[in-house]
Structure formats: structure tokens, C-alpha cells
Amino acid sequence: MMRTRPLKVALLGCGVVGSEVARIMTTHADDLTARIGAPVELAGVAVRRPDRVREGIAPELVTTDATALVKRGDIDVVVEVIGGIEPARTLITTAFEHGASVVSANKALLAQDGAALHAAADEHDKDLYYEAAVAGAIPLIRPLRESLAGDKINRVMGIVNGTTNFILDKMDSTGAGYQEALDEATALGYAEADPTADVEGFDAAAKAAILAGIAFHTRVRLDDVYREGMTEVTASDFASAKEMGCTIKLLAICERAADGGSVTARVHPAMIPLSHPLASVRGAYNAVFVESDAAGQLMFYGPGAGGSPTASAVLGDLVAVCRNRIGGATGPGESAYAALPVSPMGDVVTRYHISLDVADKPGVLAQVATVFAEHGVSIDTVRQSGKDGEASLVVVTHRASDAALTGTVEALRKLDTVRGVASIMRVEGE
């Protein structure tokens, strides 16, 4: 039986994503009503600049007092798309206290204070959904915490930032340098005026924290995620990658240790074989590769940002939360029962590609090989070239810990025959 009283929705933020959420709620109103089992009414929109014209939104719905909006008491669902830590955190907890469930796209807040927000939702028996916080329109959060809830996930590895993928893809396909590719990304609107959050890996690290927490049933905060940006990746790195049959991507990697006793979460550039599914992800698209015991290998792919894709994820959560509201139930909350320790980056084991500037004379390779052996790092391949007293030595290792590799590089820098370490890059996906 169709419920006639509408479910009231408060929208916090009406920028690129918020305006699309409002538009879809209006243009798809009949479909949303049929899917939910009740009408959905936009009851208020909180903004910072009320004088801006917002097509399709009645002026009387617009307010600058977000706190008063979430405190009204007749709001069923609050949609938060303003981002940042405050006032978003206070507004969300206030919404719970006044009887509303929450749909959020706020990756930074969830990565930092997800546990506290889930606790507040549980205390007031309300929903907290956030599919849009990771990978835009790609269904990822719900499959991890619902579809794969009966499986054991061992690894989540993916491209979760469209800006960085666009830049690296452009460098790979055209031979452009980092700055040239960044300038094009900015001109096309893929990069912000200040791209730091993207290119230094902060955005991806927040998403990695969320994904690791869900995948491993463990609380993982932003501070637990190792982060390394991509601003030092060069055209010569891509040339080396191509010689190995690889390309370079900025990856978010969440792993369960082989013994199952701990987890790691990290973001950094890495070489991946061209045969790996993630290598073919082009432009500003995102893709996440999931490995589990029973399901095996799965990949989720699609647009990872933008107003319409992100709004699609928000609306999907809105439908789910509204259905729960009608049924007098709540969906899955935080699952952190495993409480596994998060290991430091030094414990991570992977392969490495190291490029050294060395003296072009006999015995150099033997000296370098000895240093690797002394630190327990096994060499897979070596390539040396040079002339006129200068040479380049490229070493690809077998799997080794980050701590062992760090010790190796420190020792290499002390050799008189090593003029410098040109680059160090991890090799993933094998």
C-alpha cells in the first residue's frame, strides 16, 4: 500500500552535487515515489550564498541556517554534501538527535570520525549511508558491506581519484610531463585550482580508510593510511615502466596480512602490468579490484566523480534509507568486530623498481648487488647502460618489505660509486 504522507528531505549544500540531487529528486519524483513506496519532498536546502539563483529550487526552501533545518523535527532524511569536517560533523550528529537518518558524501569526515558517526547513528536508531563518499557512481560500499558480507575479503586495490588517473594517463599516452598534464586537467575541469588533495593522495587516502574499514571489519582512520603523492612521477618513470610492460597508476591498496592477523592501507604511485585490468582504466575513470576467498576477483568500474555520477550514488542511498524509514528498520551499520591491528608501511611486502645514477666503471654492479644481499632483498632483474664515466642502473627486486628496501637505499646512498637514487617505485598487481 502506498503511503501518502511524504518523506521530508533536507539538503545540506547545493553545489555541483547538491544541485544535481535536487534536480533528480524533482524530475524523477514519480519514479522515486514508486520505488520507495511514498512521495519524497525536498523540505529545505541549506547554502552559504542564498542570493545565487538555483534553477528548479523554490526560493522559500533556501536557508543559510543549516542547524535550524536539521533541528526541525519533521525531517526524515538529511543529505549532507557540503564536505569538510565542520560544520558537517555537528550537523550530522544533530540530525540524528532530532530524528533524521543521514546520507553523506563526505569522505574526509568519514575517514576521520566514521566510528563516532556510526555510534551516534546507532544511539538514535538511525541510518548512516555514504555510497557517494568513495568512487562516485560506482556501487562499491554496498557490495562490500552487504553483497560480500558472508565472504572474506583479502585485498582491495584500485584507482579512486579521477584527477590523478587523468594526469597519469595523459603522461603515459602522450609523453607529457607532470606539469603539462596537470595544466590540461585543470583546463578541462578535472583538477581544482589547488589540486593538492588529489595529487598528494589525501583524497585517495580518505577513501582507502573507508574501504579498509568495511572490507576488514576493522576501524581504520585516515592517520592509519600511508600516503605518497604522484608529483614526483616523471616521463622517464613511464619509459622505464613501458620497458617492463607496465604503466603507472596512483593506487589505493588495502590488504589483509598473509597470516590474517593484521591489515595495511596505503596510497602511492605504482607500476602495474599492462595485463592487469586496472592498467586499462583511462582518463578520469575509477576502478576498484576486490579479491576475496569465495567470490574470487571482482572489478568495479565507472565514473568516479562529477555532479551527476555522485548524485546517482546519493539518490541510491536516499531510496534505501527511505525504504528503511517506511519499514521501521535500519540498514547495516559499522562492522568493526575483527578489530585487527593496522600494520605500519615498513611491514608491507611488495616488489620495487629502483633507478640509480652510478659511476661507469668495473665493480659497481657487484657493490650494488652486495648491498641488496646484505639487507635481505633479492634482485629479480638488472639493467645497466652508460658512457663517458656516467651510467644508469635499474634494479627490479623480488618481493621485500618496505623496511628492508628503505635500509637498502640508505646503504646505497653511502657508496662512492652511487651518484644518486633517481627514482624508487613499487610494482603491484602481480
* Residues catalogued as catalytic: 207
What is the C-alpha separation between 417 and 367, in angstroms, rounded?
8
Angle at 159 between CA 289 and CA 106, to 5 degrees: 105
| Cβ neighbours of 56 (radius 10 Å) | 11
Determine contact, residues 252/287, Cβ cutoff 8 Å.
no
Here the cell at position 331 is 540498514
Q: Find the helix packing angle between 235-243 and 162-174, rounded to 10°.
A: 70
Label the pairing between strands 40-46 and 7-12.
Answer: parallel
R_g of the chain computed on alpha carbons: 24
Angle at 394 between CA 389 and CA 399, to 5 degrees: 150
Single-letter amino acid code for the residue at 397:
T
Cell 628496501 appears where? 405
What is the C-alpha separation between 84 and 135, in angstroms, rounded?
17
Say which DSSP state 10 is in.
E
SS3 384: strand
At residue 57, φ and ψ (nearest 5 deg) are -115, 120
What is the C-alpha separation between 421 and 48, in angstroms, rounded?
49
SS3 160: coil
